[in-house]
Amino acid sequence: MDVTATEAKNRLGQMLDHAQREPVFIEKSGRRHGVLLSAAHYEALVAAAAAPRDADAGLAFYQQHRSWIDEMNAEVGQRGLWNDGLRVW
């Protein structure tokens, strides 16, 4: 739902009720300027942004391919990197 800033000010109670169902976009000078969200929706967004997704994905990848990763790490430990002697100049 899109409303003007004046309409949001004049009908704040109704806008708060509507925000429990879906976000209310507040326009100023004909452009979206802000969003009114329910507290539950806001908390869900904050929790999703703070979730350590990359760490979980890395751990899942390691668990799935553990034997191969450990084998490659052991080989690099014994022989070093394959391109250590290469120079780009």
Statement: residue 53 has pLDDT above 80? no
- 10, part of any domain: yes
Region 11-36: what's the mean pLDDT?
Answer: 94
User: Averaged over 72-80, what is the pLDDT?
Assistant: 87
Same domain, 57 and 31: no
Average pLDDT, rounded, for the chain: 88
> Do 33 and 57 share a structural domain?
no
If asked whether residues 7 and 33 sit together in one domain, one would say yes
The rounded distance, in Å, linking the Cα atoms of 58 and 52 is 10
Question: Does residue 72 sit within a domain?
Answer: yes
Cα gap 16→13, rounded to integer Å: 5
Domain count, the chain: 2
* Residue 44 domain flag: no
**Tell me, what's the pLDDT at 88?**
67
Whether the per-residue pLDDT at 55 is higher than 80: the answer is: no
Domain range holding 14? 2-37
Confirm whether 43 is domain-assigned: no
**Is 69 within a domain?**
yes
The pLDDT score that the predictor gives to residue 78 is 86
